[in-house]
Amino acid sequence: METELDKIQTTITIPLGLKNRIRKLKGSMTYKQYLSKLLRDRNKLAHNESYIEIQNLVRKSAVYSFGYYKVTFTYNEYNNSENFIFDIDIVEIRNKGALESIEKFKKNMLGSEKLQSYQELILTHKLYFELLEKAIQIEIEPLFSHKSRMDDYDAWKKEFESLGLSKKSFDFDVMRKLRTLENQGDAF
């Protein structure tokens, strides 16, 4: 919970040597993110494994465009926690401005041929990974270079590690989705 005091901008005076060491240790994190991480680490050490982290998740909305389509989706705002996950959800799909159902989107993307369940699943997963890439670009790194290939989980893992994203986020946002695709693929 943020109080009125937390909203007031303050300046803390520290020696230049300490500032340089902190700048080096924090890497690409902001000072606020790094200080939050230090506080979490301190709480884990002080309370062993009985520490529970309360997160205030903020849902954000974004639009991903390609061709005539605009996909509005929501995700959790990045908070640099070990328990953080993006949790992508599609809100709506528009084709040339008109609202379109996910079923109609799949049919349009796959053509008029009879849709096979596995093709639909692959299309849905491909869109999901493109939305995940977009969320990462917005929240963390505008130069995120993975290019949303869903099947290359080693590249996803390297990207998540290089960006300092949590293992839980990788497991939930990438591996859970890929396991779903693998399990559905075994049925065909």
Structural domain boundaries of the chain? 4-50, 59-186
- Which uninterrupted H or E stretch holds 104? helix 102-110
* 123 residue type, one letter: L
Q: What is the pTM of this model?
A: 0.61
For residues 57 and 8, give the distance between their C-alpha atoms in angstroms, rounded to a whole number: 22
Q: Are the beta carbons of 77 and 60 closer than 8 angstroms?
A: yes
Q: Note the pLDDT tens digit of each residue in 54-99.
A: 667 789 999 998 888 899 999 998 877 777 889 999 999 998 888 8
Task: Copy the structure tokens of residue 64.
Answer: 């991903």
- The answer to whether the CB of 34 falls within 8 A of the CB of 21 is no
User: Which DSSP letter does residue 50 get?
Assistant: G
Confidence of residue 151 (pLDDT cuts 50, 70, 90): low
